Amino acid sequence: MEFTTFDHLFMSCRVVVMIWIKFLDCFALSWTHIANFSLLVQWWLRKHRVISMKDPWSMGLIIMADNLWKEMNARRSEDKKLDCFCIFGKIRHDFLDAKATLQGQVKHPIDLICGRRLGLNIAPSRAPEILEIFWCKPMMGWAKLNVGGSSIGNLGRAGAGGIICDNNGVVVGSFKVFLEIQTNYFAEFKALIEGIQMAKDLEVSSLWIESDLASMVTAVQACSIPWHFVQKWTSLQSYLNSISWEISHCFREVNCIVDFLAKEAAKSSTSERDVIFPNYIREEINLDAHTRPRYCFCVC
């Protein structure tokens, strides 16, 4: 009996290669003549990170290997041969049996074409709800600190930004800080530390802090401060203990001013206090002060 290696069975046989080509063509990918099955699995996992239709892609490797194994066994033991079109038809049938759908995964026209080629059920996604949201002014006698961070690439060039407004929505302080190469989480915490320090310098006695990073808000509420900032946070405790303060999460859409500051710091490599805003940002601040609504999409 002719001996067939594992890699030849799954990678080199002419019929097998034709099936791989046909399957990958569904995803608009090309067959790269990978040397062995182990390297194929590694390549498959790398592609999984960037392909939008992750479920069919993950299932595809298993379904393909199963059908190719059965076909090769049938050819060797039963002398039965199917052409590549029939084999691919069985592969499509297995996708249907697995009840794979593309709900919420169709993001581009090529994804729709892929689903049609694989015979998948393309279930329509629920339309997102539109939420009306506001930047809220603080209570009388309070100041509001909005903070944000940005890391281009995360890890990448990073910046932190913040703005302090009084109960009328008037800006009383602002800053942007360039952080060189850092993560977004680091940038957000740096913005918080810098903002509290600015509030201390301005002798703010009641402070409301807002951030659009829920994980940072949760960490502060649980007193779980990253080690990079423990020393600085400890030095600010005497000030925080002497005032009334709270921290809460907000939607990113209402935090656009500090988002501008953080990105500007990251891009320009500059740090500054009492930033001079461009006209369109001053207009955004003015509209927030007059409780202008903003909108965001929410998929429930």
Q: Where are the beta strands (DSSP E) in the chain?
A: 129-133, 143-152, 156-165, 171-182, 206-211, 244-249, 272-273, 294-298
Q: How far is CA 50 from CA 47, 118, 150, in A?
A: 6, 19, 22
Domain 132-298 classified CATH 1.10.3730.10? Answer: no
Q: Count of alpha carbons within 13 Å of 213, Cβ hemisphere only?
A: 22
In tens, the pLDDT along 273-295 reads: 999 999 999 999 999 999 899 98
Percent of the chain scored above 70 by pLDDT?
A: 91
Has residue 8 got a pLDDT over 80?
A: no
Q: Please write the tens of the pLDDT for every residue from 225-244.
A: 999 999 999 999 999 999 99
Most confident of the ranges 4-13, 106-115, 134-143: 134-143
Rounded to two decimals, the pTM is: 0.62
3-state secondary structure of 209: strand
Domain locations in the chain as residue ranges: 6-118, 132-298
CA distance 58 to 162: 42
* pLDDT tens-digit readout, 177-189: 999 999 999 999 9
Average per-residue pLDDT for the chain: 87
Amino acid at 110: I
* Residue 1 pLDDT greater than 50, yes or no: no
Rounded distance between C-alpha atoms, residue 166 and residue 173, angstroms: 10
Q: What's the distance, CA 61 to chain centroid?
A: 25
Single-letter amino acid, residue 165:
C
User: Which position has the higher pLDDT, 77 or 1?
Assistant: 77
d(CA 33, CA 230): 52
